[in-house]
C-alpha cells in the first residue's frame, strides 16, 4: 500500500459530543488539499461512546485508522502512539476538540513545501476562555521558556505539522515521560510559526483543568531542565549563610552583652521557615528521583489494544 503524503494524528478522550464534527471538518480539509492522506485517531481509553463512533468511521472510510488504547494513558502518550503509527511524509497533530482549526493545514503544508521541517501553530488570541485561564496559560508558557534549557516558542501547543524526519527522530527518543512540543524543539531542524486565533471548544469540557496544567508544567520543566535542582542548591546555601550569621550574632550577645533572649518566637519562626525550605528541596529531588524510577522500570508509555481500519474490520 502506497504511503500517504499526509497523516493527521488526533488524540481523543471522551469526545463523543464533538468527534463526528471533528471527522467531518478534517475530511473536508484533507480532500480539498488533493493529496493522499490518512486520519489516525488515538482513543485514549475513553469511557463514553468515542471508540464506537470512531469504529463506525473506520467501517465507512479507508482513510481512517483507529489506534485503541487498553486504558487511559494520557495526552502525551496518545500523541506519541499516533506518531508511531503515522505513515505520511508529513504529520499534522491536532486535538479532537476543534479549538485548533484544521483549516490551517493548507497554510502549514505550504510552509513545509518551502523547506520547513516543523510548522507550529502560534496563538494570537484565545476565545471562549476565562481571564484566569488566559493569564495562567500566558504565565505557563513564559515560565516553561525561562526554566527549560530548550528554546521552545511561546503560546504554542501540540498543534503543528512535522516532517517525517522529525517524526522519526522523536520516535527514537527513549524516555517515557514525553513532553512532545519540547522534544520536537530539542531535535532541531528548521522551524517556523503560523499565527492563528484559538477558538472555544465546539462541545464538551476541557481535559486540562488547573490540576493537570500544574502537573503538565512540572513534567515540562523536569524533562528539560536542572534549574530546580540548582535553585534548591542556591536556597540551601543562602539559608545556611543566614543561619551562620544569626548564630554569630547570638554568640556575640551571649559573650559580650547583657542582652537576654525575650522568647522563642523568632527561633521557632526560623526553624519552621528553614524546615519548610528543606522539605521543598527534598520534594524537588523526589520528583527527579521518581522520574528516574519510572525510566529504569522501562515499562511502555502506552499499550495498544488494537489497530483498526476498514481492511481489518472486513477480515473479521
Return d(Cα 157, Cα 242) in angstroms, integer: 42
Q: Which residue has the higher pLDDT, 269 or 52?
A: 52
Grid coordinates of 44? 485514549
Kindly state the greatest CA–CA separation across the chain: 94
Q: Are 122 and 154 in contact (CB under 8 A)?
A: yes
Q: What percent of the chain has pLDDT over 90?
A: 26
User: Average of pLDDT values for 286-292?
Assistant: 72
Does 17 score more than 70 pLDDT?
A: yes
pLDDT given for residue 222 in this prediction: 64
Please state the length of the chain.
Answer: 316
Confidence band (pLDDT; 50, 70, 90) for 108?
very high
Question: Residue 91's beta-bridge partner residues?
Answer: 7, 162
Confidence band (pLDDT; 50, 70, 90) for 302?
confident
Distance of CA 239 to CAs 243, 246, 270, Å? 6, 10, 10
Q: Which tens digit of pLDDT belongs to each residue from 137-178? A: 667 667 766 766 677 777 777 889 999 999 999 998 888 778
pLDDT given for residue 69 in this prediction: 92
Sheet order of strands, 118-126 included: 191-198, 118-126, 156-163, 90-93, 6-12, 37-43, 64-69, 304-308
Amino acid at each position: 500500500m502506497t504511503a500517504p503524503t499526509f497523516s493527521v494524528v488526533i488524540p481523543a478522550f471522551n469526545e463523543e459530543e464533538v468527534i463526528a464534527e471533528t471527522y467531518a471538518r478534517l475530511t473536508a480539509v484533507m480532500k480539498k488539499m488533493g493529496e493522499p492522506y490518512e486520519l489516525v485517531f488515538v482513543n485514549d481509553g475513553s469511557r463514553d461512546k468515542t471508540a464506537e463512533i470512531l469504529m463506525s468511521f473506520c467501517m465507512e472510510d479507508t482513510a481512517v485508522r483507529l489506534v485503541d488504547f487498553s486504558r487511559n494513558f494520557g495526552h502525551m502518550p496518545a500523541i506519541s502512539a499516533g506518531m508511531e503509527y503515522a505513515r505520511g511524509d508529513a504529520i499534522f497533530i491536532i486535538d479532537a476538540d476543534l479549538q485548533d482549526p484544521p483549516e490551517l493545514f493548507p497554510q502549514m503544508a505550504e510552509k513545509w513545501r518551502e523547506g520547513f521541517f516543523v510548522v507550529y501553530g502560534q496563538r494570537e488570541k484565545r476565545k471562549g476562555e476565562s481571564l484566569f485561564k488566559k493569564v495562567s496559560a500566558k504565565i505557563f508558557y513564559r515560565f516553561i521558556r525561562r526554566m527549560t534549557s530548550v528554546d521552545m516558542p511561546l503560546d504554542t501547543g501540540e498543534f503543528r505539522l512535522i516532517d517525517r524526519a522529525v517524526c522519526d527522530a522523536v520516535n527514537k527518543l527513549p524516555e517515557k515521560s514525553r513532553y512532545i512540543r519540547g522534544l520536537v524543539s530539542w531535535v532541531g531542524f528548521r522551524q517556523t510559526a503560523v499565527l492563528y486565533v484559538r477558538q472555544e471548544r465546539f462541545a464538551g469540557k476541557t481535559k486540562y483543568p488547573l490540576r493537570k496544567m500544574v502537573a503538565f508544567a512540572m513534567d515540562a520543566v523536569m524533562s528539560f531542565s536542572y534549574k530546580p535542582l540548582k535553585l534548591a542548591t542556591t536556597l540551601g546555601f543562602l539559608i545556611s549563610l543566614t543561619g551562620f550569621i544569626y548564630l554569630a550574632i547570638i554568640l556575640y550577645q551571649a559573650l559580650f552583652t547583657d542582652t537576654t533572649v525575650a522568647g522563642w518566637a523568632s527561633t521557632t519562626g526560623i526553624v519552621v521557615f528553614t524546615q519548610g525550605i528543606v522539605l521543598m528541596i527534598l520534594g524537588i529531588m523526589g520528583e527527579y528521583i521518581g522520574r528516574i524510577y519510572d525510566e529504569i522500570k522501562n515499562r511502555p508509555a502506552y499499550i495498544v489494544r488494537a489497530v483498526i481500519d476498514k481492511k481489518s474490520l472486513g477480515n473479521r
